Amino acid sequence: MKTISTLMVLLFLVVTISTSSYGNTYYFDLNNAGLGGGPWGMITLTDIDSHTVKFIVDPYASAFSSVGSNFGIQSFAFNFDIEGYDGNLLSFSIPSGWSGEYDGDNITGYGPYGKFDLEVKGKGSNRQDPLVFFVTSPSDFTISIDDFNTEESTNNYLFAGHIAGFSEGTITSAKFADPASVPAPVPEPCTMLLLGSGLLGLWGLRKKLKN
């Protein structure tokens, strides 16, 4: 009975951990060109350390009828949610030929998705598939993914991107956005493995005691 009680406690801890682990992945589910289908891309945020957040913006070539050799992300807009902190102090590690800027709630060019705080952008000749970049804060100030996935644009969207180089009839370029829904808790794979192993062990022990 003592062994079973110990296993039950361990299983409780595993379930508690799994329900508090949040996914950091978002999707371009909306577009301003009336395209059907989707999603048309995925945005992933990862904490590298207490001063650096990694962004991966991956356009889905398979979501379009056809794509050219220069298909990819041409610009990406997002927001920053730390009151009283000057976003101009953030620095960007971005692809060659790209630029990054902070202009709180004044980044335009994303149509119905409103104005954003930050933007990284390239040109038609250097679109990225995927776009990978890093945002870093000074050493005296910490940041995390939570500072970028809760603030919404002036029209209530978390992220927006310009994808170009595809062909959908006469449409070759469009703006895409995430619908600004904070993702539900997603159990981490290793946590689910521990949970499954614990349940299997508990079942085996119960069967052994019966015999």
pLDDT tens, residue order, the chain (211 aa): 555 454 444 444 444 443 333 348 999 999 999 999 999 999 999 999 999 999 999 999 999 999 999 999 999 999 998 777 888 999 999 999 999 999 988 999 999 999 999 999 999 999 999 999 999 999 989 999 999 998 899 999 999 999 999 999 999 999 999 987 554 444 445 445 554 555 555 555 555 555 5
User: Whole-structure pTM over 0.75, yes or no?
Assistant: yes
**Cα separations (Å) of 64 from 72, 110, 164, 167, 171?**
12, 20, 11, 7, 11
Q: In the prediction, which pLDDT does 193 show?
A: 52
Q: Rounded to the nearest 5 degrees, what angle is found at the Cα of 196, between the Cα atoms of 195 and 198?
A: 65
3-state secondary structure of 70: strand
